[in-house]
Structures are given as structure tokens and as C-alpha cells.
């Protein structure tokens, strides 16, 4: 048969794809529209069969027409169709087509960081999702002031168990210092189904960015007997705590000194045993930024 044109037109619920007979395609819908035509000198008859088994029956689509448009129903997953076109002289051509149907959207089961998390700049974004045929994972982040950005995750770097995936992407958010950032993930499968977007279905989370260390404006230490009086003047909008560590302790570790500031000041006293002491101080904000003050070294007799 000369100049035979075969066009398969797959119409899914959310879009239309035009492909040649040589391609393997993914579609979203089980309803698959065949649009077939022949450019020979007379009308043709059009048939299809399921699978490659020659014993499968040929099902008539259209008889003695130049163009044929019919819907066929496919099963979820892989499908093989054979198309046969018989011209007026009884000459036939047969084409086979592999079609994969994936009508289900990916399901995002978990994202991190959680809502309200405060970052100091470099953030590990995590997403867990379920999908048999993932194609891409994209992280969207930003705000209405600085704008929104997106970055792709490498699927081969994700961990997977069957259809369950877990992926991580590290992003530097220091450009958003002092601002709130919204983020969400979009997961797309091979058929074009998408979970997560700038819509009501997206799991949008918000976090605050604080990439600036606390500022110790001034500090003083004074020893009265065995009591060490400590005063810090601190500038930090997201203050968390002031801690100290005495190397003379049997198990030296940082202990809480102040958990809040009064007009920007932390004042406290600690009673020390006799002997040699070397005490370190650090100021930490809620994002995890830490700055240290000069240590206090003294012998109490």
C-alpha cells in the first residue's frame, strides 16, 4: 500500500497528544481515541486487535471509509494494540503500538521542613511520595517580594522501595534572610499526572529565614565571693538562649543561662565551687545561628 498515513490521536481527560505509530506513549485516560486515515485511491477498512498473539480476533473499527475515528478502552498499565488497514484491493498493512495507561496522580505523603521551621540559610528539603512511574520532582520556593524559584531533584538520587520514594534537595536560602519563604513540591508521572502545584491541592509550607548571627553588643563578668555575675547586651530578633559550659565540671556540657531577654539584656549569676574554672559562653537564635563570647578563666580559692 502506497503513501499510507497512520495517525494515532490519544485524547486524555486533561490533554491531547499526537504521536506516530513508531512511538511508545503514556496516557492519562483509559479511553483512547484512534484517528486513522489512508491516502490511497479508495476507501479502506480499519481493524484492531489486543496484544501480539495472532490468535486474538481482529475487531472492525470502520468499513470502506477513508477516515476512521473510534474510541477503544484500555486497561491500567501496559497495552499493546495492533492496527490493520485493508485497502480496496485487499492489501493490508499492520502496525503495533505500545500504550501505557497511568490514570492516577502521584501522592505526596510527607514534606520537610515542617510549617513554622526557622532556617539559618542552608536547608535540606525532603519529600516522600508514592508513584509507580515517576518522571520528575520539582521544588518550588520563594515569596512575593523576592520572587519564586524552582529546582529539579534527581530521581536516581532518591531512595525507593517499590513505588515509595524519598528525595532530598539542599538549597541556600540566605538570599531570603529576614523573610518568610513558602515552598511546595510538584511530582509528575510519565503520563503527565501532577501532584502539587500552586493550587489548593499543593501542600504549601512556610518557614522563616534567619541567616544572621546574634550580635553581642557588650558583656561583663564580675566575681563576688564564689558568685559569678554575668551580663550580656544582645541584639537578636529571634533570640533562643544564652548557655555556658564550665570545663571544671565532671562532665562539661552547655547549660542554660537565659532563655529570654529583658530589654535586650541577659543577666544571671552562677555559684562556683573552689578551684580552677574555664567557662565558655554562647548565644543562639531560633534558627541555630550561634556566636561565642570570650571565656572567663579564674581560680577561686
Over the chain (301 residues), what is each successive 10-residue block's mean pLDDT?
35 30 79 85 89 87 93 94 90 89 94 83 92 96 94 96 96 92 94 75 83 95 95 96 96 96 97 95 94 94 84
Model pLDDT, residue 225: 93
Per the structure block, which three cell numbers stand in for 52? 501480539
In the three-class reduction of DSSP (H, G, I as helix; E, B as strand; rest coil), residue 156 is classed as helix
pTM metric for this prediction: 0.74
Range(s) within the chain of domains with CATH label 2.60.40.650: 107-209
Range(s) within the chain of domains with CATH label 2.60.40.10: 8-101, 215-300
Q: Are 61 and 74 in contact (CB under 8 A)?
A: no
What homologous superfamily does CATH list for 215-300?
A: Immunoglobulins (2.60.40.10)
Model pLDDT, residue 158: 97
Per the structure block, which three cell numbers stand in for 60? 472492525
Model pLDDT, residue 202: 66
DSSP label at residue 106 = -
Model pLDDT, residue 9: 36
Closest CA to 187 of 223, 163, 215: 163
CB atoms within 10 A of CB 187: 25
Residue holding cell 504549601? Answer: 204
How many degrees, rounded to 5, is the angle at CA 33 between CA 28 and CA 36? 140
Residue holding cell 496522580? Answer: 105
Q: Looking at domain 8-101, which CATH architecture does it have?
A: Sandwich (2.60)
Distance CA 21, CA 96 (A): 7
Model pLDDT, residue 1: 39
CA neighbours closer than 13 Å in the CB half-sphere of residue 150: 11
In the three-class reduction of DSSP (H, G, I as helix; E, B as strand; rest coil), residue 155 is classed as helix
Q: In whole angstroms, how far apart are CA 250 and each of 138, 245, 253, 255, 280?
A: 50, 11, 9, 14, 15
Fold of 107-209: Immunoglobulin-like (2.60.40)
Q: Are 101 and 77 in contact (CB under 8 A)?
A: yes
CB atoms within 10 A of CB 210: 24
Amino acid at each position: 500500500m502506497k503513501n499510507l498515513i497512520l495517525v494515532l490521536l490519544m485524547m486524555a481527560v486533561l490533554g491531547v497528544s499526537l504521536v506516530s505509530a513508531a512511538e511508545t506513549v503514556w496516557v492519562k485516560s483509559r479511553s483512547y481515541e484512534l484517528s486513522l486515515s489512508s491516502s490511497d485511491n479508495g476507501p479502506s477498512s480499519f481493524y484492531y486487535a489486543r496484544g501480539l498473539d495472532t490468535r486474538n480476533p481482529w475487531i472492525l473499527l470502520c468499513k470502506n471509509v477513508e477516515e476512521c475515528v473510534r474510541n477503544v478502552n484500555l486497561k491500567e498499565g501496559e497495552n499493546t494494540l495492533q492496527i490493520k488497514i485493508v485497502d480496496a484491493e485487499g492489501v493490508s498493512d499492520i502496525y503495533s503500538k505500545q500504550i501505557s495507561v497511568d490514570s492516577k496522580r502521584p501522592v505526596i505523603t510527607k514534606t520537610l521542613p515542617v510549617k513554622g521551621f526557622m532556617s539559618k540559610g542552608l536547608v535540606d528539603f525532603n519529600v516522600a511520595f508514592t508513584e509507580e512511574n515517576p518522571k520528575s520532582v520539582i521544588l518550588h520556593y520563594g515569596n512575593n517580594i523576592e520572587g519564586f524559584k524552582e529546582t529539579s531533584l534527581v530521581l536516581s538520587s532518591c531512595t525507593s522501595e517499590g513505588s515509595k520514594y524519598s528525595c532530598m534537595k539542599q538549597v541556600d536560602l540566605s538570599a531570603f534572610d529576614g523573610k518568610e519563604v513558602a515552598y511546595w513540591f510538584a511530582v509528575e508521572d510519565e503520563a503527565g499526572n501532577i501532584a502539587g502545584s500552586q493550587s489548593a491541592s499543593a501542600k504549601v509550607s512556610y518557614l522563616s529565614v534567619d541567616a544572621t548571627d546574634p550580635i553581642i553588643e557588650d558583656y561583663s563578668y564580675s566575681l563576688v565571693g564564689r558568685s559569678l555575675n554575668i551580663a550580656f547586651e544582645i541584639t537578636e530578633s529571634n533570640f533562643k538562649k544564652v548557655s555556658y559550659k564550665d570545663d571544671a565540671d565532671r562532665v562539661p556540657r552547655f547549660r542554660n543561662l537565659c532563655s529570654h531577654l529583658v530589654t535586650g539584656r541577659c543577666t544571671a549569676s552562677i555559684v562556683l565551687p573552689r578551684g580552677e574554672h574555664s567557662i565558655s559562653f554562647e548565644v543562639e537564635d531560633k534558627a541555630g545561628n550561634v556566636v561565642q563570647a570570650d571565656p572567663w578563666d579564674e581560680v577561686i580559692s
